[in-house]
Amino acid sequence: MAELDATVAAGREGGPASDPTPEPVVVAFVAALRRAGVAIPVDSTVTFSEALAEVGATDRNAVYWAGRATLVTRPEDIEPYDQVFAAFWGEGPAALLRSASAPTPTTLVLDDTDDASEPPTDDGDDDESEEIQAVRYSPAEVLRHRDFAECSEEELAEAHRLMSLMGLGVARRPSRRHRPTTARHGRPDLRRTVRQSMRTGGETLRRAHTSPSDRPRRLVLLADISGSMEPYSRSLLRFVHAAATGRTRVEAFALGTRLTRLTRELSTRDPDAALERVGSAVDDWAGGTRLGDMLAEFNDRWGVRGMARGAVVVILSDGWDRGEPDQLAEQMQRLSRVAYRVVWVNPLKATPGYEPLARGMAAALPYVDRFIEGHSLAALEHLAKEIAA
């Protein structure tokens, strides 16, 4: 059991000095929300407490938005949140805080065991008067943050299942096309106006209009399948498959000592069948990496000629490269000039003390718009948001 010092008092430095510490109120409020069906990640309780330390707990409006921003993660939870907030804070924060003016010190204990039936234990060092509130991670929550390289086969299988359920949006771009609209302003739609007038004997009673439309941007995923990426390649390719399934403006490639186009292999909805086809198509699996050469081939054959123009390009690689850094920098510069956004996903970025000092990574970084982690489910959820932004 890892103890999380979330008595929140420690995080109160810098908060309004006159505010009493409302840990029991925070815990009770979060518990009421959960009973109402609001899905609250376990670390959000601490985040909410820290937010209260910043905005103060005596301003009802500030408390509302602090909780709304830190505790509500789904649109369907907004309504129950409003109901619980109105019921819970109805008398105002001051009344609640008065009732907690002499609170029993409360410690939030993070129980990271998988057995939900086993209650948290007290190590005996705490004061008997101190109340201990257990905050337990669910197995799925633990798995969201676990490094793919440290997962067992069963955990990887569950992570891949959750990955297939991940919602992946796409960034959109303005289109030259206009679409019919019911609004009474915009570009006149003469064809529809005339057609409607035929129903009234040729008398035009209402003018139809069109409005500008948009279309999804192309998504290009370049996945490094070299030996240094082996602990992550299988999981990242699952993500690539989830992004590519059922979409027409997604392209996927494997980077190694060769550039392999995988769009057709990943088109089937069955992830196991898709990965099997990828394994058959890739000849240099777990080999070396020549990122500069591979990006040069991609730019010459597909990228600069049209595929990457205006696209969101995602490179999934640890940046370890056997080629010349100058060539990689030159090709990244070419790619960044035509792409809408270049996102580099590096699983090693989550390593404590990591610095992008590898020759390839250092050469590519100046031409990357977003440099993010890619070692866990939570990191890939973040990547999905970056793709849709």
What are the pLDDT digits (tens) for 12-32? 333 333 444 466 777 778 888
Q: What is the DSSP string of 113-158?
A: -S-TTSPPPP-S-S-TTSEEEEEE--HHHHHHHS-GGG--HHHHHH
| Whole-number Å distance between alpha carbons of 295 and 315 | 10
Question: Percent of the chain having pLDDT more than 70?
Answer: 80
DSSP 238: H
Q: Regarding beta strands 312-316 and 341-346, do their DSSP bridges make them parallel or antiparallel, or are they unpaired? A: parallel
Q: Tell whether the model's pLDDT for residue 132 goes beyond 70.
A: no
Q: For residue 154, what pLDDT is reported?
A: 87
Task: List 373's β-bridge partners, or say none.
Answer: 346
- The tokens describing 50, both together, are 């820290």
What are the pLDDT digits (tens) for 54-95? 887 777 888 888 888 888 888 888 888 888 888 777 655 545
Top-ranked range on mean pLDDT: pick from 4-13, 114-123, 227-236, 334-343 = 334-343
| Whole-number Å distance between alpha carbons of 356 and 325 | 13
More confident residue, 142 or 114: 142
Q: Regarding beta strands 106-111 and 259-261, do their DSSP bridges make them parallel or antiparallel, or are they unpaired? A: unpaired
Q: In this structure, are residues 305 and 335 in contact, taking their beta carbons and an 8 Å threshold?
A: no
- The tokens describing 181, both together, are 């609209």
Q: For residue 95, what pLDDT is reported?
A: 52
Report the half-sphere exposure of 57 (CA within 13 A, side-chain side): 27
Q: What is the DSSP string of 304-369?
A: IIIITTT-EEEEE-----SS-HHHHHHHHHHHHHH-SEEEEEEGGGGSTT----SHHHHHHGGG-S
Using alpha carbons, list the distances in angstroms from residue 366 to 280, 329, 346, 361: 35, 8, 15, 9
- The tokens describing 279, both together, are 């394994």
Element holding 209 (H helix, E strand): strand 209-216
Q: In this structure, are residues 52 and 88 in contact, taking their beta carbons and an 8 Å threshold?
A: no
Q: For residue 203, what pLDDT is reported?
A: 82
What are the pLDDT digits (tens) for 333-378? 999 999 999 999 999 998 888 888 888 899 999 999 999 999 999 9
Q: Tell whether the model's pLDDT for residue 186 goes beyond 90.
A: no
Q: Regarding beta strands 250-255 and 370-373, do their DSSP bridges make them parallel or antiparallel, or are they unpaired? A: unpaired
- The tokens describing 89, both together, are 């804070």
Q: For residue 39, what pLDDT is reported?
A: 80
Using alpha carbons, list the distances in angstroms from residue 134 to 21, 30, 97, 153, 162: 19, 13, 22, 30, 26
Geometric angle at alpha carbon 319, from 313 and 323, rounded to 5°: 105
Q: Regarding beta strands 106-111 and 370-373, do their DSSP bridges make them parallel or antiparallel, or are they unpaired? A: unpaired
